[in-house]
Amino acid sequence: MADEPGPHLAQHSTHQPWQRALQACSPLLAELAAGSQLTVVVSNQWLRYKLLPAMPPMQSHAASLAVARALFMDTYGEAAATWHIALEPLPQGGYQFACALDQSLLEAITAMAAQAGCQLVSVQPAMMHFYNRLCRHLSRDLCGLVQVEAGRIHLALMRDGGWLALSACASHVQDWPQQMLALLQREMVLLGDAPLMSGKLYVNVALAAAHSAAWTALQASLAEMGWQAVPVFSHERSMSKLASPATAWVGG
């Protein structure tokens, strides 16, 4: 598993880097009826992830959170001392999925929903939202989840229903396929059984990207490595009012 620090989640100034994303959501929330249920999906850009060794079954939630916070602080420093940390309720395999976000972002999302008169049902990390969409369809064999966002790529590998690896890297619009391939190859080497690794790779990309020449070339490169690329198109990353509850995307 590789952790690559990205942009800081919190700044010391009064202006937060995610404020513009929240401002873009506010007019959309105003279109909802008062009392509407709302789920907010937060972009990976504003989140940090860890795979923790699965805790003993009888260990308290508070003790597990303390371990998670110590690991986040080991990577990201004192800033992580005040982050909001959430743990996967039921560990998958030998690891437990952990997510951290700026506490002030969570408070701002809560305030935004209240101001719009919405009932905030949940705040979901983008990677877990992606996993939840696919979990019923994932095989017990090796598979991977990739989310491509502006400036950043996240990769998770799973086998037998358990987490194997979780990593991220910076990317650019013009070379994200090459960056994604490099990220996958790095994780395969770190896991130590690269020649034996093949499976389905579910790639969450914008519809336009999946119809580009770069996508066709990426599929061919992955096939040479033994992977089958399965595109999972991104919904409109603003507001979906067709589902209940309504879903708002807080992106970069």
Q: Are 7 and 21 in contact (CB under 8 A)?
A: no
pLDDT reading at 141 higher than 80: yes
Q: Average model confidence (pLDDT) for the chain?
A: 84
207-233 average pLDDT score? 83
* pLDDT one-digit tens code per residue, 199-212: 899 999 876 666 67
Concatenated DSSP letters of 198-220: -EEEEEEE-HHHHTSHHHHHHHH
CATH numbers and ranges of domains, the chain: 35-46+104-250 (3.30.420.260)
Q: CB neighbours of 102 closer than 8 A, spacing ≥ 6? A: 9, 10, 16, 18, 46, 83, 84
**Cα–Cα distance for residue pair 232/183, rounded to 1 Å:** 19
Instruction: Indicate the helix (H) or strand (E) that contains 182.
Output: helix 176-191
Percent of the chain with pLDDT over 70: 84
pLDDT of amino acid 103: 95
| Strand 37-42 versus strand 119-125 pairing type | parallel
pLDDT reading at 10 higher than 50: no
**Cα–Cα distance for residue pair 194/202, rounded to 1 Å:** 18
pLDDT reading at 241 higher than 70: no
132-154 average pLDDT score? 88
Model-level pTM greater than 0.95?
no
Pick the most confident of 2-16, 212-226, 237-251: 212-226
* pLDDT one-digit tens code per residue, 26-74: 888 888 888 999 999 999 999 999 998 887 777 888 999 999 999 999 9
pLDDT of amino acid 245: 64
Q: CB neighbours of 189 closer than 8 A, spacing ≥ 6? A: none
